[in-house]
């Protein structure tokens, strides 16, 4: 009798999850299955006209140089974003924590880009990176240097790195606040004791702060990876994937293929590959970083 009641209780506890599960079933699981079907189908517009088996996947992986470049760009962008956003974020957090006054103001300054809409951020940086009237030519001009043709977004060898700069600018502030919160939980005595031993600030950063912040580094690495692998809006606004395909990412190429070339089945196959890549990378990071997080917690 009590067992039955317990089971009924737990079923009712479960009922509170029904809204979210219904939402995920309708708007996540069903589209995923629908998408899997599309990726295996020949499509005419949005209509399925037959089955192609794995042909779309084979074409994406072995026969499409643009998609390959998109994947390479995506991985480069993500690796750079992880290193820069966590690195700059940690640097900013250390500097800000050293200041006595105005911490709130500094925090606002560094986090504000995170709140700015991607559309706005993209537009602003398109201007700042423009030749002749952009930020580098203007500052250069004020210093008496002629940098008027510096235009990273229209230079195929620089465009991706320009995008990296903008991503770092947008998200480093977020990493900073996460690190700042982590640093507050590091006991002051540790630093004081090390200081008495004559250990300098950089050695303290490397041997005390950095290892104890592993949980934050772990969370930020995962979040940045997941976030950057699917970055679309910033790139779409700034370069549309160009010049040529220099800043084409898997995400922008999926969008163009689906909605410009209207090759829906093929676009969906590439999207599925992107998803597998994201899940796999997140899993690898999880496995690599978890032991160090546990060491930091111990």
Q: Which of 233, 242, 292, 296 binds other proteins (CB under 8 A)?
A: 233
CB of 244 to other proteins, least distance (A): 20
Residue 50 forms beta bridges with which residues?
42
Q: Does 9 bind other proteins (CB under 8 A)?
A: yes
Distance in angstroms (rounded) separating the CA atoms of residues 9 and 91: 50
Q: Does 116 bind other proteins (CB under 8 A)?
A: yes
Q: Does 150 bind other proteins (CB under 8 A)?
A: no
Distance in angstroms (rounded) separating the CA atoms of residues 162 and 131: 13
Q: Does 140 bind other proteins (CB under 8 A)?
A: no
Choice between 120 and 203, CB closer to other proteins: 120
| C-beta separation of 161 from 151 below 8 A | no
Q: Does 96 bind other proteins (CB under 8 A)?
A: yes
Distance in angstroms (rounded) separating the CA atoms of residues 1 and 39: 51
Distance in angstroms (rounded) separating the CA atoms of residues 211 and 194: 15
- Contact positions with other proteins (CB under 8 A) in 152-181: 169, 173-174, 177-178, 180-181
Q: Which two tokens stand for residue 180?
A: 């700042």
Distance in angstroms (rounded) separating the CA atoms of residues 191 and 187: 8
Phi, psi of 117, rounded to the nearest 5 degrees: -60, 145
Q: Does 44 bind other proteins (CB under 8 A)?
A: no
Choice between 159 and 256, CB closer to other proteins: 256
Q: Which of 80, 136, 160, 251 binds other proteins (CB under 8 A)?
A: 251
Q: Which of 58, 109, 288, 295 binds other proteins (CB under 8 A)?
A: 109
Tell which phi-psi region holds residue 132, choosing left (phi > 0), alpha (psi between -120 and 50) or beta.
left
- Contact positions with other proteins (CB under 8 A) in 61-90: none
CB of 282 to other proteins, least distance (A): 6
């Amino acid at each position: 009798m009590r067992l039955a009641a317990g089971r009924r209780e737990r079923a009712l506890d479960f009922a509170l999850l029904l809204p979210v599960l219904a939402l995920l079933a309708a708007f996540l699981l069903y589209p995923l299955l629908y998408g899997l079907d599309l990726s295996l189908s020949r499509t005419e517009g949005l209509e399925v006209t037959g089955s192609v088996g794995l042909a779309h996947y084979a074409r994406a992986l072995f026969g499409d140089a643009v998609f390959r470049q998109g994947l390479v760009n995506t991985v480069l962008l993500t690796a750079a974003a992880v290193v820069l956003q966590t690195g700059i974020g940690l640097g900013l957090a250390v500097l800000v924590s050293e200041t006595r006054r105005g911490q709130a103001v500094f925090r606002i300054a560094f986090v504000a880009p995170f709140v700015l809409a991607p559309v706005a951020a993209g537009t602003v940086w398109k201007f700042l990176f423009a030749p002749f009237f952009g930020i580098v030519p203007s500052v250069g001009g004020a210093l008496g240097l002629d940098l008027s043709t510096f235009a990273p977004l229209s230079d195929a060898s620089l465009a991706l790195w320009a995008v990296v700069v903008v991503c770092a600018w947008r998200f480093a502030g977020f990493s900073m606040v996460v690190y700042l919160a982590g640093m507050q939980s590091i006991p002051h005595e540790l630093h004081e004791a090390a200081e008495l031993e004559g250990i300098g600030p950089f050695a303290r950063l490397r041997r005390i702060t950095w290892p104890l912040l592993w949980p934050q580094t772990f969370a930020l690495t995962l979040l940045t990876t997941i976030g950057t692998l699917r970055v679309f809006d910033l790139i779409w606004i700034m370069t549309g994937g160009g010049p040529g395909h220099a800043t084409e990412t898997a995400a922008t190429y999926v969008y163009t293929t689906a909605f410009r070339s209207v090759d829906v089945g093929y676009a969906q196959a590439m999207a599925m590959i992107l998803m597998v890549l994201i899940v796999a990378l997140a899993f690898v990071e999880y496995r690599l970083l978890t032991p160090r997080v546990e060491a930091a917690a111990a």
